Amino acid sequence: MPAPTRTLLPPMTEAASSRGFDVSVVMSTWNRADVLARALTSLLQQRAAGVRYEVVVVDNNSTDSTRAVVESFLARGSPSLRYLFEARQGASHGRNTGILVARAPIIAFTDDDVTVAPDWIATLKRLLDEHPEVECVGGRVLPHGDSTLPSWLTREHWAPLALLDYGDQAFYVTPTRRLCLITANAAFRAAVFGRIGLFSPDVQSFKRETATEDHELLLRLWRSGGQGLYAPTLVVTSDIAEDRFAKGYHRRWHRRHGRFSALMHDEGLEQTRFGSWLGVPAWIYRELVEGAVRWLSCFLGGNPDRAFFHETRIRFAVGFIGARLRERAGRTPGV
Protein backbone atom coordinates (compact mmCIF):
# COMPACT_ATOMS: atom_id res chain seq x y z
CA MET A 1 0.00 0.00 0.00
CA PRO A 2 1.33 3.49 -0.75
CA ALA A 3 2.51 5.64 2.14
CA PRO A 4 -0.04 7.94 3.79
CA THR A 5 -0.79 11.09 1.85
CA ARG A 6 1.27 14.13 2.77
CA THR A 7 1.46 17.70 1.57
CA LEU A 8 4.74 19.59 1.49
CA LEU A 9 4.79 23.08 2.94
CA PRO A 10 7.16 25.50 1.18
CA PRO A 11 10.12 26.29 3.42
CA MET A 12 9.51 29.33 5.61
CA THR A 13 11.15 32.43 4.15
CA GLU A 14 12.98 35.04 6.20
CA ALA A 15 10.11 37.45 5.60
CA ALA A 16 7.54 34.97 6.84
CA SER A 17 9.52 34.31 10.00
CA SER A 18 9.82 37.99 10.90
CA ARG A 19 6.20 39.14 10.87
CA GLY A 20 6.12 39.98 14.54
CA PHE A 21 5.39 36.60 16.12
CA ASP A 22 7.67 34.10 17.82
CA VAL A 23 5.04 31.36 18.23
CA SER A 24 1.86 30.47 16.35
CA VAL A 25 -0.58 28.31 18.33
CA VAL A 26 -2.87 26.21 16.12
CA MET A 27 -6.05 24.75 17.60
CA SER A 28 -8.39 22.69 15.44
CA THR A 29 -11.85 22.51 17.00
CA TRP A 30 -15.04 20.61 16.22
CA ASN A 31 -18.34 20.95 18.10
CA ARG A 32 -16.91 21.74 21.52
CA ALA A 33 -18.28 25.22 22.03
CA ASP A 34 -19.12 24.30 25.63
CA VAL A 35 -15.45 24.00 26.63
CA LEU A 36 -13.74 26.13 23.97
CA ALA A 37 -13.96 29.36 25.97
CA ARG A 38 -11.90 27.92 28.81
CA ALA A 39 -9.24 26.68 26.41
CA LEU A 40 -9.03 30.07 24.70
CA THR A 41 -8.88 31.94 28.00
CA SER A 42 -5.89 29.87 29.09
CA LEU A 43 -4.13 30.68 25.81
CA LEU A 44 -4.90 34.38 25.71
CA GLN A 45 -3.97 35.04 29.34
CA GLN A 46 -0.45 33.64 29.17
CA ARG A 47 2.49 34.88 31.20
CA ALA A 48 4.46 34.85 27.98
CA ALA A 49 7.63 36.59 29.29
CA GLY A 50 7.90 38.77 26.21
CA VAL A 51 7.24 35.98 23.69
CA ARG A 52 5.07 37.33 20.88
CA TYR A 53 2.41 34.83 19.87
CA GLU A 54 -0.77 34.38 17.86
CA VAL A 55 -3.61 31.90 18.34
CA VAL A 56 -5.13 30.40 15.16
CA VAL A 57 -8.47 28.71 15.80
CA VAL A 58 -9.55 26.45 12.93
CA ASP A 59 -13.25 25.63 13.01
CA ASN A 60 -13.29 22.13 11.52
CA ASN A 61 -16.85 22.23 10.15
CA SER A 62 -18.58 22.68 13.51
CA THR A 63 -22.37 22.76 13.65
CA ASP A 64 -22.65 24.26 17.15
CA SER A 65 -21.84 27.79 18.37
CA THR A 66 -18.07 27.48 17.93
CA ARG A 67 -17.83 30.53 15.67
CA ALA A 68 -19.87 32.64 18.08
CA VAL A 69 -17.55 31.70 20.94
CA VAL A 70 -14.47 32.79 19.00
CA GLU A 71 -16.18 35.97 17.83
CA SER A 72 -17.01 36.84 21.42
CA PHE A 73 -13.28 36.86 22.19
CA LEU A 74 -12.55 38.90 19.08
CA ALA A 75 -15.17 41.44 20.13
CA ARG A 76 -13.34 41.94 23.43
CA GLY A 77 -10.23 42.94 21.54
CA SER A 78 -7.89 40.00 21.06
CA PRO A 79 -5.57 41.13 18.25
CA SER A 80 -3.49 37.96 18.32
CA LEU A 81 -6.54 35.70 17.83
CA ARG A 82 -7.57 34.52 14.35
CA TYR A 83 -10.55 32.44 13.17
CA LEU A 84 -10.52 30.13 10.14
CA PHE A 85 -13.05 27.66 8.79
CA GLU A 86 -12.05 24.28 7.32
CA ALA A 87 -14.89 22.22 5.85
CA ARG A 88 -12.86 19.03 5.31
CA GLN A 89 -13.56 16.93 8.38
CA GLY A 90 -10.68 15.60 10.45
CA ALA A 91 -8.04 16.97 12.79
CA SER A 92 -5.28 16.60 10.19
CA HIS A 93 -7.14 18.89 7.79
CA GLY A 94 -7.79 21.40 10.55
CA ARG A 95 -4.19 21.49 11.76
CA ASN A 96 -2.83 21.68 8.22
CA THR A 97 -5.01 24.70 7.47
CA GLY A 98 -3.61 26.39 10.56
CA ILE A 99 -0.02 25.52 9.65
CA LEU A 100 -0.41 27.05 6.19
CA VAL A 101 -1.39 30.46 7.60
CA ALA A 102 0.85 30.47 10.69
CA ARG A 103 3.20 33.44 10.81
CA ALA A 104 5.84 32.34 13.32
CA PRO A 105 8.95 30.12 13.13
CA ILE A 106 7.50 27.91 15.91
CA ILE A 107 4.08 26.27 15.52
CA ALA A 108 2.49 24.92 18.70
CA PHE A 109 -0.56 22.69 18.93
CA THR A 110 -3.20 22.14 21.58
CA ASP A 111 -6.82 20.99 21.67
CA ASP A 112 -10.18 22.60 22.34
CA ASP A 113 -10.75 20.62 25.56
CA VAL A 114 -7.30 21.44 26.98
CA THR A 115 -6.22 24.07 29.49
CA VAL A 116 -2.58 25.06 29.09
CA ALA A 117 -0.39 26.13 32.00
CA PRO A 118 0.00 29.93 32.46
CA ASP A 119 3.64 29.76 31.32
CA TRP A 120 3.04 27.24 28.51
CA ILE A 121 4.11 29.46 25.61
CA ALA A 122 7.14 30.84 27.42
CA THR A 123 8.20 27.31 28.38
CA LEU A 124 7.97 25.80 24.91
CA LYS A 125 9.80 28.76 23.37
CA ARG A 126 12.57 28.50 25.98
CA LEU A 127 12.92 24.75 25.46
CA LEU A 128 13.30 25.06 21.70
CA ASP A 129 15.78 27.92 22.13
CA GLU A 130 17.83 25.90 24.62
CA HIS A 131 17.76 22.75 22.46
CA PRO A 132 18.65 23.64 18.87
CA GLU A 133 19.34 19.93 18.30
CA VAL A 134 15.61 19.08 18.41
CA GLU A 135 12.85 19.99 16.00
CA CYS A 136 9.88 19.50 18.28
CA VAL A 137 9.02 19.40 21.95
CA GLY A 138 6.09 17.88 23.81
CA GLY A 139 5.06 17.38 27.39
CA ARG A 140 2.54 16.10 29.86
CA VAL A 141 -1.19 15.91 29.24
CA LEU A 142 -2.84 15.29 32.61
CA PRO A 143 -6.52 14.84 33.51
CA HIS A 144 -8.27 18.04 34.50
CA GLY A 145 -8.54 18.53 38.24
CA ASP A 146 -12.19 17.56 38.54
CA SER A 147 -11.84 14.38 36.44
CA THR A 148 -12.65 11.24 38.44
CA LEU A 149 -11.54 8.03 36.74
CA PRO A 150 -13.10 4.58 37.28
CA SER A 151 -10.92 2.20 39.31
CA TRP A 152 -10.14 0.03 36.28
CA LEU A 153 -8.97 3.02 34.24
CA THR A 154 -5.32 2.98 35.28
CA ARG A 155 -2.42 4.63 33.46
CA GLU A 156 -2.18 1.54 31.26
CA HIS A 157 -5.37 2.85 29.65
CA TRP A 158 -4.35 6.49 29.32
CA ALA A 159 -3.57 6.43 25.58
CA PRO A 160 -7.25 6.18 24.51
CA LEU A 161 -7.95 9.18 26.79
CA ALA A 162 -5.29 11.28 24.98
CA LEU A 163 -3.41 11.61 28.28
CA LEU A 164 0.37 11.40 28.50
CA ASP A 165 2.95 11.33 31.26
CA TYR A 166 6.35 9.75 30.66
CA GLY A 167 7.71 10.75 34.04
CA ASP A 168 9.81 13.48 35.62
CA GLN A 169 12.94 13.25 33.47
CA ALA A 170 13.38 14.90 30.08
CA PHE A 171 14.62 12.74 27.21
CA TYR A 172 14.91 12.70 23.42
CA VAL A 173 12.35 10.89 21.28
CA THR A 174 14.33 9.22 18.51
CA PRO A 175 14.24 6.15 16.25
CA THR A 176 15.65 4.18 19.17
CA ARG A 177 13.23 5.63 21.73
CA ARG A 178 10.04 5.77 19.74
CA LEU A 179 7.64 7.43 22.15
CA CYS A 180 4.92 9.66 20.78
CA LEU A 181 4.45 13.35 21.60
CA ILE A 182 0.79 14.22 21.12
CA THR A 183 -0.56 17.45 19.66
CA ALA A 184 -2.62 18.27 22.71
CA ASN A 185 0.73 19.60 23.98
CA ALA A 186 3.49 19.93 21.39
CA ALA A 187 5.38 22.46 19.30
CA PHE A 188 7.41 22.13 16.09
CA ARG A 189 9.82 24.35 14.26
CA ALA A 190 7.86 25.55 11.22
CA ALA A 191 10.68 24.59 8.85
CA VAL A 192 10.03 20.91 9.68
CA PHE A 193 6.80 20.93 7.69
CA GLY A 194 8.67 22.17 4.63
CA ARG A 195 10.94 19.15 4.84
CA ILE A 196 8.68 16.26 5.84
CA GLY A 197 5.20 17.52 4.93
CA LEU A 198 2.00 18.17 6.87
CA PHE A 199 -0.23 15.88 8.94
CA SER A 200 -1.55 12.92 6.98
CA PRO A 201 -5.34 12.66 6.59
CA ASP A 202 -4.98 8.91 5.92
CA VAL A 203 -4.45 8.00 9.58
CA GLN A 204 -7.03 10.26 11.22
CA SER A 205 -10.42 9.45 12.65
CA PHE A 206 -13.50 11.55 12.06
CA LYS A 207 -15.14 10.69 15.38
CA ARG A 208 -12.33 11.59 17.81
CA GLU A 209 -12.04 7.91 18.70
CA THR A 210 -8.65 6.95 17.36
CA ALA A 211 -6.01 8.71 15.32
CA THR A 212 -2.31 8.23 14.78
CA GLU A 213 -1.49 11.36 12.78
CA ASP A 214 0.83 12.54 15.56
CA HIS A 215 2.75 9.24 15.51
CA GLU A 216 2.87 9.15 11.72
CA LEU A 217 4.31 12.69 11.58
CA LEU A 218 7.00 11.69 14.09
CA LEU A 219 7.85 8.65 11.97
CA ARG A 220 8.61 10.94 9.06
CA LEU A 221 10.60 13.23 11.33
CA TRP A 222 12.74 10.30 12.52
CA ARG A 223 13.18 8.99 9.00
CA SER A 224 14.47 12.41 7.96
CA GLY A 225 17.11 12.35 10.69
CA GLY A 226 15.28 14.59 13.16
CA GLN A 227 14.46 14.12 16.83
CA GLY A 228 12.16 15.56 19.47
CA LEU A 229 12.26 16.26 23.19
CA TYR A 230 9.91 15.13 25.94
CA ALA A 231 9.87 17.87 28.59
CA PRO A 232 7.92 17.21 31.82
CA THR A 233 7.86 20.94 32.58
CA LEU A 234 5.57 21.52 29.60
CA VAL A 235 2.15 20.81 31.12
CA VAL A 236 -1.50 20.96 30.06
CA THR A 237 -4.65 19.45 31.52
CA SER A 238 -7.44 17.86 29.52
CA ASP A 239 -11.12 17.17 29.98
CA ILE A 240 -12.20 13.58 29.49
CA ALA A 241 -15.51 13.04 27.72
CA GLU A 242 -17.90 10.75 29.59
CA ASP A 243 -18.05 8.24 26.75
CA ARG A 244 -14.32 7.56 27.19
CA PHE A 245 -15.02 6.06 30.60
CA ALA A 246 -16.84 3.20 28.87
CA LYS A 247 -15.01 -0.02 28.04
CA GLY A 248 -16.73 -0.11 24.66
CA TYR A 249 -14.88 3.07 23.69
CA HIS A 250 -11.55 1.49 24.66
CA ARG A 251 -12.35 -1.68 22.73
CA ARG A 252 -13.01 0.34 19.56
CA TRP A 253 -9.92 2.50 20.15
CA HIS A 254 -7.52 -0.43 20.38
CA ARG A 255 -8.96 -2.19 17.33
CA ARG A 256 -8.67 1.00 15.27
CA HIS A 257 -5.22 1.68 16.67
CA GLY A 258 -4.13 -1.72 15.39
CA ARG A 259 -5.49 -0.89 11.94
CA PHE A 260 -3.76 2.50 11.79
CA SER A 261 -0.50 0.98 13.06
CA ALA A 262 -0.59 -1.57 10.24
CA LEU A 263 -1.19 1.21 7.72
CA MET A 264 1.79 3.29 8.88
CA HIS A 265 4.40 0.51 8.47
CA ASP A 266 6.36 1.78 11.46
CA GLU A 267 9.84 0.23 11.31
CA GLY A 268 9.79 -0.16 15.09
CA LEU A 269 6.70 -2.36 14.90
CA GLU A 270 7.87 -4.30 11.86
CA GLN A 271 11.06 -5.57 13.49
CA THR A 272 10.84 -9.21 14.54
CA ARG A 273 13.29 -12.01 15.26
CA PHE A 274 11.06 -14.62 13.67
CA GLY A 275 10.03 -12.99 10.41
CA SER A 276 6.46 -12.42 9.31
CA TRP A 277 3.56 -14.36 7.87
CA LEU A 278 0.98 -12.91 5.49
CA GLY A 279 2.62 -9.52 5.98
CA VAL A 280 2.17 -9.58 9.75
CA PRO A 281 5.24 -9.56 12.06
CA ALA A 282 5.47 -12.68 14.19
CA TRP A 283 5.29 -10.74 17.45
CA ILE A 284 1.75 -9.60 16.59
CA TYR A 285 0.61 -13.24 16.48
CA ARG A 286 2.39 -13.81 19.78
CA GLU A 287 0.59 -10.79 21.24
CA LEU A 288 -2.72 -12.25 20.10
CA VAL A 289 -2.11 -15.69 21.57
CA GLU A 290 -0.51 -14.48 24.79
CA GLY A 291 -3.24 -11.89 25.29
CA ALA A 292 -5.93 -14.54 24.83
CA VAL A 293 -4.29 -16.94 27.30
CA ARG A 294 -3.83 -14.27 29.94
CA TRP A 295 -7.33 -12.88 29.38
CA LEU A 296 -8.80 -16.33 30.03
CA SER A 297 -6.63 -16.82 33.11
CA CYS A 298 -7.64 -13.47 34.61
CA PHE A 299 -11.30 -13.95 33.67
CA LEU A 300 -11.48 -17.37 35.31
CA GLY A 301 -9.42 -16.09 38.26
CA GLY A 302 -11.93 -13.35 39.05
CA ASN A 303 -9.72 -10.42 38.02
CA PRO A 304 -11.84 -8.50 35.49
CA ASP A 305 -9.61 -5.40 35.42
CA ARG A 306 -6.53 -7.36 34.31
CA ALA A 307 -8.69 -9.43 31.96
CA PHE A 308 -9.80 -6.22 30.26
CA PHE A 309 -6.19 -5.05 29.86
CA HIS A 310 -5.34 -8.28 28.03
CA GLU A 311 -8.50 -7.95 25.96
CA THR A 312 -7.18 -4.62 24.64
CA ARG A 313 -4.01 -6.42 23.52
CA ILE A 314 -6.16 -8.90 21.62
CA ARG A 315 -8.14 -6.16 19.93
CA PHE A 316 -4.99 -4.32 18.82
CA ALA A 317 -3.61 -7.52 17.29
CA VAL A 318 -6.91 -8.34 15.56
CA GLY A 319 -7.09 -4.83 14.11
CA PHE A 320 -3.50 -5.02 12.87
CA ILE A 321 -3.86 -8.48 11.32
CA GLY A 322 -7.16 -7.62 9.66
CA ALA A 323 -5.70 -4.48 8.08
CA ARG A 324 -2.68 -6.34 6.74
CA LEU A 325 -4.80 -9.12 5.26
CA ARG A 326 -7.01 -6.57 3.51
CA GLU A 327 -3.88 -4.78 2.31
CA ARG A 328 -2.49 -8.01 0.82
CA ALA A 329 -5.81 -8.58 -0.91
CA GLY A 330 -5.59 -5.11 -2.47
CA ARG A 331 -8.43 -3.74 -0.37
CA THR A 332 -8.46 -0.55 1.69
CA PRO A 333 -7.66 -1.41 5.31
CA GLY A 334 -10.32 1.00 6.53
CA VAL A 335 -10.45 2.88 9.81
Domain identity same for 158 and 200:
yes
pLDDT for res 207: 57
| Distance from the Cα of residue 318 to its chain's centroid | 23
Quote the pLDDT of residue 123: 97
Going 95 to 96 to 101 to 103, the CA torsion angle's sign is positive
Q: Which of 210, 242, 274 is the C-terminal boundary of a domain?
A: 242
At 106 the pLDDT is 98
**253 and 233 inside one domain:** no
Cβ atoms of 138 and 221 closer than 8 Å: no
Residue 79 lies in a domain: yes
State whether 195 and 267 are in the same domain: no
Domain range spanning residue 278?
A: 247-328
Domain contains 102: yes
In terms of domains, do 147 and 257 share one? no
For 220, other C-beta atoms within 10 Å of its C-beta total: 18
Going along 120-189, which residue ranges are E strands?
Answer: 136-143, 171-173, 185-189
Relative to beta strand 276-277, strand 280-281 is antiparallel
- Answer yes or no: do 79 and 179 share one domain: yes
Q: Same domain for 186 and 267?
A: no
Q: Which residues pair with 58 in a beta bridge?
A: 28, 84
The dihedral through the CA atoms of 141, 244, 57, 136 has a sign that is positive
Q: Is 333 inside any structural domain?
A: no
Q: Does residue 130 sit in the same domain as residue 253?
A: no
d(CA 195, CA 11): 7
- Does residue 1 sit within a domain? no
| β-strand partners of 235 | 140
Of 242, 264, 299, which one is at a domain's C-terminal end?
A: 242
Helices (H), the chain: 33-44, 66-75, 91-101, 120-130, 191-196, 213-223, 247-264, 267-270, 282-300, 304-328
Q: Do both 187 and 93 map to the same domain? A: yes
The one-letter amino acid at 273: R
CATH number of the domain encompassing residue 87: 3.90.550.10
Number of domains in the chain: 2
Task: Give the amino acid at 147.
Answer: S
pLDDT at residue number 146? 63
Measured CA to CA, the distance from residue 282 to residue 272 in angstroms comes to 6
Q: How does pLDDT run across 177-211, given as a tens digit for each residue? A: 999 999 999 999 999 999 999 999 887 665 555 66
Q: Residue 205: what pLDDT? A: 63
Same-domain pairing of 202 and 280: no
What DSSP string runs through 67-81? HHHHHHHHHTT-TTE
Q: Where are the alpha helices (DSSP H) in 58-190?
A: 66-75, 91-101, 120-130
**How many Å apart are CA 143 and CA 149, to the nearest integer?**
9
**pLDDT tens for residues 154-167?**
889 999 999 999 99
pLDDT for residue 163: 94
Residue 175 in any domain: the answer is yes
Give the list of residues 6+ apart from residue 94 with CB closer than 8 angstroms, or none. 28, 29, 30, 58, 60, 86
| 97, part of any domain | yes
Sign of CA pseudo-dihedral 97, 98, 101, 104:
negative
Between CA 214 and CA 302 the distance in angstroms is 37
In order along its 335 residues, the chain shows pLDDT tens digits of: 334 444 444 444 333 444 589 999 999 999 999 999 999 999 999 999 899 999 999 999 999 999 999 999 999 988 899 999 999 988 999 999 999 999 999 999 999 999 999 999 999 999 999 999 999 999 999 998 766 778 888 889 999 999 999 999 999 999 999 999 999 999 999 999 999 999 998 876 655 556 688 999 999 999 999 999 999 999 999 988 888 899 999 999 999 999 989 988 888 888 878 888 999 999 999 999 999 999 999 999 999 999 999 999 999 999 999 999 998 888 765 55
For residues 226 and 287, state if they share a domain.
no
Which residues, 6+ apart, have CB-to-CB distance to 175 below 8 Å? Answer: 222, 223, 267, 268
Let me know if residue 71 belongs to a domain. yes
214 Cβ neighbours under 8 A, 6+ residues apart: 180, 181, 182, 183, 186
Partners of 228 in the beta sheet? Answer: 136, 173
Instruction: Examine the domain organization and report whether 232 and 296 are in the same domain.
Output: no
